[in-house]
Homo-oligomer: A and B are copies of this chain.
Amino acid sequence: MVHSHLLHPLLVIAAVVAILFAISNFSSLKRIIIGRPMRTKELYAKHNKLFWFMALLVLAADLYSSVAYGPEAGMTELASLGSDVKWLILPITIATVILLGILIASYIMGVMAYPNGGGAYTIAKENFDKPWVSLIASSALLVDYVLTVAVSVSAGVQAVASAYPVIAPHATTISVLCVIVILIVNLRGISESATVFAWPTLFFMICMGILILTGISDQFQHGFVQPSTPPFGVMPKGLTTLLILKAFSAACSSLTGIETISNSVPVFRDPATKNAVKAYIALGLITGATLLGYSYELYVKGISVNPQNTMLSQLAGVYFGHSIVYQIMIWSTFIVLILAANSTFTGFPQLAALVASDGFLPRALTVRGDRLGYSNGMLILTALASLLIIGFEARTEALIPLYSIGVFVSFTIAQIGLVRRWIRVKGSYWKVKMSMNAIGALTTISVLIVVASTKFTEGAWIVLIVLPAIIFGCLGIKRHYNQVANELRIDFETHKPSSHHILTIVLISGIHRVVLNTISFAQSLNTDVVAVYVGFNEQDIERMEQKWEDWGSPCRLITLKSEYRSLLGPITRFLKRMETKEGRPDHVHIIIPQFIPRKWWHYFLHNQSALLLRAWLLRNKDVVITTVPYHLQK
């Protein structure tokens, strides 16, 4: 694919990095883009409990939007077999809807078990002793959140590109820009108005309903078997069980996002659990009905896979031409897919913060940004999703094989965790509940095996490598934190601060106001003070020694000669001599003066070798380093 220079995705990334850098440095720009910083206590003022159907709409984008690409992903697997396969969309979708029913039933059990909201990670943590089990769940979920962003945004842009083919060559760049816009919106943190997200989803549901009803009324007028309707039940040449399983596992990508409600039970009005269950049942019915109706229409109209034109766009085109209704259809698809990506910007950082607070990920992920969101998590999500989009050139069908693995890994662990929980906790009807989760677990593990084996060569292997790598990384991080904690722990009784013998070394480059300030500071500390001068030749050194005497030798001066014109060598050799000297100090303390110019470009006019020296010494030697700034007036 040919990109113009300016729209090259890597340039876009570079621009974004530059912008983020700018944001982090120029606080006024940051204020404009991100908004004013917010107080920690504002966090708790925000929660409004939602009516169950409103909560359903707010949480539905992730699951319901998958309808737009799930059936198509399934049929893409079979596309090579010609047009005889078209009828297979019906059995595959029916199987998917049955799986949906099983999963909804077992997630309802999850909601009952964890009314405070419990994702796969929480369930696994509570019901398995080994941390690696819950890490499998969390890693699978984190990987999946990244893939949700990549897949949803790519699918959204693909939908728009079906209507406007001119943008197709720039799909990668546009997708990355969409991710960045979502990032900025989320860095601002607009979750105080979560209900805003309800309406586009509702609108998309209505659009899908109108599309299906228009189709059915068309069929009542023109018959249920039309010229375009492919023959049912014909076995296409070359069809194998493996291919059907591949198609089914790809179609299962319609089911991603099913866990959202179970993670967010507390947003429902009381009785929260009951309302969440109600929402689950309703969402299951709506999604199932849409999947069945939509697939049936695709079948009747004999629509086949076309990489330039999504099936949804083709079907809408059949009924509405390129009218305004078609346009609305396309844009509502785009918006609901972007919303699905957007919901991930809450899920990923929250899960990352949860895992990080357990010590398995860097602690920086637990820090809330200016607008109270976990901004570090959001930035990482953006970077990873953008890399995936660029790597796979925004092709939804290429990303989906990676997707399904993670989904079904976390589904399976959550189900098994729930089974263990019912056995342990029991409670009313526990056997029924346990059986439902057991059925769920068996189903998801079967699907998982199908996906992993059939999609292995098409990208699933990436996930099968990445997941263990993440888990090992998490265990390594935990080990590091534990070791550091042990190393740092002190006994309050025996470990008290004590005084040391300190040698203070002042690095000087001549005799001027900065050196005067620095030596004054050093001598105020009441430690041993020596001034050290590094000269590049004998004459410099003699001149310096003479000047020092003329100034009245305020402290001892040691001159070092640098044959290689670098400060590092002579100074490290000097420090080594100090270390081996008798009566050596407990601490060596080096004072380095630093110019602070008033204009940024003046930095280029003053040697920054002191800065490099400081970094090197801190890293490699056990010395304390003090920077005495000198703010230039001009």
Binding site for B on A (CB under 8 A): 2, 5, 8, 10-11, 14, 37-41, 362-364, 367-368, 370, 477, 480-481, 483-484, 487-490, 492, 495-502, 511-514, 516, 519-521, 523-527, 536-537, 547, 550-552, 554-555, 563-566, 586-587, 589, 594-596, 602, 604-607, 614, 618-619, 622-629, 631-634
Q: Which residue of chain B has its CB nearest to the CB of A483?
A: B634
Instruction: Report yes or no: A619 in contact with B605, Cβ–Cβ below 8 A.
Output: no
Instruction: Report yes or no: A37 in contact with B629, Cβ–Cβ below 8 A.
Output: no
Residues of B within 8 A of A587 (CB): 521, 524
Residues of B within 8 A of A481 (CB): 605
A40 to B2, CA, bound (A): 52
Query: Do A41 and B563 form a contact, CB below 8 Å, given A605-B481, A618-B627?
Result: yes
- Ranked nearest first, the 3 interchain pairs of A and B with the lowest CB-CB distance are A488-B512, A483-B634, A626-B626
Instruction: Report yes or no: A521 in contact with B496, Cβ–Cβ below 8 A.
Output: no
Instruction: Report yes or no: A520 in contact with B498, Cβ–Cβ below 8 A.
Output: yes
A633 to B525, CA, bound (A): 30
13 contacts between A and B (CB under 8 A): A5-B10, A362-B604, A363-B606, A364-B607, A487-B632, A490-B513, A492-B511, A492-B551, A497-B554, A524-B586, A596-B618, A624-B626, A627-B627
Q: Which residue of chain B has its CB nearest to the CB of A1?
A: B5
Q: A487-B632, A624-B626 are in contact. List 7 more A-B contacts (CB 8 A).
A: A496-B551, A497-B520, A498-B520, A500-B521, A521-B624, A526-B526, A624-B627
Q: Which residue of chain B has its CB nearest to the CB of A24?
A: B612
Q: Which residue of chain B has its CB nearest to the CB of A527?
A: B525
Instruction: Report yes or no: B499 in contact with A524, Cβ–Cβ below 8 A.
Output: yes
Query: Do A624 and B634 form a contact, CB below 8 Å, given A362-B604, A492-B511, A525-B526?
Result: no
Instruction: Report yes or no: B37 in contact with A492, Cβ–Cβ below 8 A.
Output: no
Instruction: Report yes or no: B564 in contact with A370, Cβ–Cβ below 8 A.
Output: yes
Instruction: Report yes or no: B492 in contact with A512, Cβ–Cβ below 8 A.
Output: no
Cβ contact of A629, chosen from B364, B490, B605, B624, cutoff 8 A: B624
A627 to B606, CA, bound (A): 22
Cβ contact of A525, chosen from B10, B38, B502, B537, cutoff 8 A: B502
A479 to B622, CA, bound (A): 40
Instruction: Report yes or no: A552 in contact with B634, Cβ–Cβ below 8 A.
Output: no
A2 to B3, CA, bound (A): 9
Query: Do A480 and B605 form a contact, CB below 8 Å, given A39-B563, A488-B513, A495-B516?
Result: yes
Residues of B within 8 A of A627 (CB): 614, 618, 624-627
A37 to B565, CA, bound (A): 9
